[in-house]
Structure 1
Amino acid sequence: MSLFVLKPGLLSSFQDLGRMGYQHLGVPVGGAMDSRAHRLANLLVGNPDEEATLEITLSGPMLRFDAAACIAITGAALGPTLNGKPVPNNRPLIIRKGDVLAFGARSAGLRAYVAWHGGIDLPMLLSSRSTYLRGGFGGYKGRALRAGDVLHPRVRLDEGGLDQLARELWDIRVYLPAILGLAPRAALRAMQGAHTGLFTDKSIDDFFASEYRISPQSERMGYRLQGNTLELKSSAQLLSEATSFGSVQVPPDGKPIVLMADRQTTGGYAKIAHIASVDLPAIAQCMPGDTVRFTPIGLEQAQELDAQRETAFEQLRQALGPVRRLLSDR
């Protein structure tokens, strides 16, 4: 039972929720850039949140299946097709032997996620199956996919009755709450932190009132922002401390950097703000050249939004019980 990579796409790598608990050893957390889309893809095929999905960036791969499977595609709208015919995001899809999954033109977002019922057979390394591209480990051989790679799904669906299974899955209504959808935001909500007071009042005002453009020098480690230069009140040195996904650090050149999934484990630059976790998927789906704005939010409000998102996931999990039952019977 195999899955053949005919074309690799621009950057396709396996990611899960990250490699937790190893930052003190210098190992980044990593994981999916858009954890919302990653979790949603797994939900749609009856997997736990922690199962690795294929993270696709801008230009998707072409994959040929030699056995039946159930997959789901979430996140960016990258024009997915099955045997040349368009297929939707955010639905469980039945794949038959010989089918070819491909991607076309992008219409929204940057990163799409593909989940397989049962997952892909990948080694567990430091409690994770995520690919750390800079370190060259994890995922599939520690790298992005290449043409000729052969993947092995852990679960093979029975070939008999696939048409009926496909109809039954299609008849299940999937109501996607807005908080779990691909929805660009006019402004990313960000909290002030312990370092915010180190910046001049003008810099703080500029950060929350100005528009920033995502630099071409942006990737999974961090998004460099082009816009107003931010200044500290003094040039005092700071002790290095642990970093987090969504922290906005400001190096000496005054150009902010949003730390992303593959961020370094520690850093000593002052951080002017921290993006609320509920809005991290929104910036993860932004491309170089896109513009972003920031709006202030309090910690309690950010926590409330995070709780609302988790409630939406749990409600969706309950609603997708029939999907899990249908697939478990196969």
Structure 2
Amino acid sequence: MKEIFEVIKPGLSTSIQDLGRAGYQKYGIPTSGAMDAFAHRIANLLAGNQEEEATLEIMLMGPQLKILQDAVIAIGGADLSATIDEAPLQPWKSYRVYSGQILSFGKPIYGTYAYLAVKGAFLIEEVMESKSTYVPAGIGGFEGRILQKGDRLIAGDTDLTSVRAGRYLKAVDTPNYEQHRPIRVIAGPDLAAFSNETYQQFYQESYRITEQSNRMGYRLEGKALPHAEEADIISDAVLPGTIQVPANGQPIVLLSDRQTTGGYARIATVITADIPFLVQKRIGSEVQFLSISLERAQADYLQQQRYLQLLRTGLNH
């Protein structure tokens, strides 16, 4: 157990996240967790950790960190121009870093969220079985907040003999966040809330991600989606990727810090395999949706899980 990083500059929004606070929504507690769980998991695997361990989730303008102990780190997700003592680091790769070096992030190249994992993982007290930060309630993570200048982070087992640096994803396996492709969805449960014409419009139109978007949800702007009668429903469950349509007809995609129930009609749900491609889009980006079957969504999820299993197996040999 050793101090591993000192925060010199905190960046725009840097927080501790893991795979979320499961099992507490019945008490009104959001799950939180990494916005791009796939990138988070791969960063951990490349660093030699279990994939559920906490990472630093870094949004757009990243922090500057002083390395306090020799370590192996890995970065997954967005390319935010990471450097170590001004030498460039590539995403989807692990590196050996040394005490006294400075890890910095610069101009965003692609994507929105990057994940920094360190061998041994961050030692953070769990709150309701998770290290994830939920800032609105001030729980989890580092004192329940995003990082600030002067914060010092602690890592667990820093024995570097059990993991080698230089592990990376092949280019063919690297997610292409800049690819212009529709975000795939399955039909929502409130079918009677919208006419056939509204559903056709939803899939034909494109929507802009607005400046009001955050970890709770991405607010979209486009041609308003009319309801068959009214927008409100009896409050019901919402999931990662649930797309609500409030009275103004502008869709909202609920994400990691979403509320536990919602009272607006649900037109669709983004499939798990495509949530990373949505959350890695920048403010102002255009989004289009494509309807697929539940069976296809399940098959794509299983394919993603099989890939992670293969990666896990390969990195352990």
Which TM-score tier does this pair reach, normalised by the shorter chain? over 0.9
Cα 1:209–1:196 change in 2 (3 A) is: same
Give the counterpart letter for 1:293 in structure 2. Answer: Q
Three-state SS of the structure 2 residue aligned to 1:238 is strand
Matches of 1:283 and 1:314, distance apart in 2 = 23
The aligned counterpart of 2:299 is 304
CA contact (8 A) 1:53 1:116 kept: yes
What is the CA-CA distance between 1:177 and the residue it aligns to?
A: 5.4
Matches of 2:71 and 2:96, distance apart in 1 = 6
* Structure 2 residue 255 is the aligned partner of structure 1 residue 260: yes
Matches of 1:173 and 1:35, distance apart in 2 = 18
What is the CA-CA distance between 1:234 and the residue it aligns to?
A: 1.3
Three-state SS of the structure 1 residue aligned to 2:92 is coil
Matches of 1:169 and 1:70, distance apart in 2 = 6
Cα 1:30–1:177 change in 2 (3 A) is: farther
What is the CA-CA distance between 1:174 and the residue it aligns to?
A: 4.0
What is the CA-CA distance between 1:200 and the residue it aligns to?
A: 1.8
Residue-by-residue CA offset, 1:126-159 (whole Å, 9 max, x unaligned): 010000011111000000000111111112346x
What is the CA-CA distance between 1:92 and the residue it aligns to?
A: 1.4
Aligned equivalent of 1:208, options 203, 209, 216: 203
CA contact (8 A) 2:93 2:169 kept: yes
Residue-by-residue CA offset, 1:151-178 (whole Å, 9 max, x unaligned): 11112346xx9xxx99x633x5643653
What is the CA-CA distance between 1:202 and the residue it aligns to?
A: 1.9
Matches of 2:152 and 2:241, distance apart in 1 = 34
Give the counterpart letter for 2:132 in structure 1. Answer: S
Cα 1:143–1:281 change in 2 (3 A) is: same
The aligned counterpart of 2:83 is 81
Give the counterpart letter for 2:271 in structure 1. Answer: A
The aligned counterpart of 1:33 is 35
The aligned counterpart of 2:313 is 318
Which deviates more from structure 2 when the two are superposed, residues 297-306 or residues 178-187? 178-187
Three-state SS of the structure 2 residue aligned to 1:155 is coil
Matches of 1:312 and 1:177, distance apart in 2 = 13
The aligned counterpart of 1:62 is 64
Relative to its length, the structure with more strand (as a share) is: 2
Matches of 2:119 and 2:191, distance apart in 1 = 44
Three-state SS of the structure 2 residue aligned to 1:268 is strand
Matches of 1:15 and 1:208, distance apart in 2 = 33
Give the counterpart letter for 2:301 in structure 1. Answer: D
What is the CA-CA distance between 1:197 and the residue it aligns to?
A: 3.5
* Structure 2 residue 242 is the aligned partner of structure 1 residue 240: no
Matches of 1:301 and 1:218, distance apart in 2 = 28
Cα 1:234–1:179 change in 2 (3 A) is: farther
CA contact (8 A) 2:16 2:141 kept: yes
CA contact (8 A) 1:179 1:312 kept: no
CA contact (8 A) 1:37 1:74 kept: yes
What is the CA-CA distance between 1:183 and the residue it aligns to?
A: 5.5
* Structure 2 residue 137 is the aligned partner of structure 1 residue 155: no
Name the TM-score, length of structure 2 as normaliser.
0.95
| Count of residue pairs the alignment pairs up | 315
What is the CA-CA distance between 1:253 and the residue it aligns to?
A: 1.0
Give the counterpart letter for 1:208 in structure 2. Answer: Y
The aligned counterpart of 1:222 is 217
Matches of 1:266 and 1:83, distance apart in 2 = 46
Seq. identity, %: 40
CA contact (8 A) 1:215 1:226 kept: yes
Residue-by-residue CA offset, 1:243-298 (whole Å, 9 max, x unaligned): 10101001111111000110001111100001111000011101211110001111
Three-state SS of the structure 1 residue aligned to 2:137 is coil
Matches within 5 A, 1:1-330: 1-2=2-3, 3-157=5-159, 169-170=165-166, 174-175=169-170, 178=173, 182=177, 184-235=179-230, 237-322=232-317
CA contact (8 A) 1:12 1:61 kept: yes
Three-state SS of the structure 2 residue aligned to 1:267 is strand
Residue-by-residue CA offset, 1:300-323 (whole Å, 9 max, x unaligned): 00000001100111111111114x
Unaligned ranges ≥5, structure 2: none
Cα 1:236–1:315 change in 2 (3 A) is: closer
CA contact (8 A) 1:36 1:180 kept: no
**CA RMSD for the aligned pairs?**
1.8
Cα 1:27–1:78 change in 2 (3 A) is: same
Unaligned ranges ≥5, structure 1: 323-330
Give the counterpart letter for 2:275 in structure 1. Answer: L
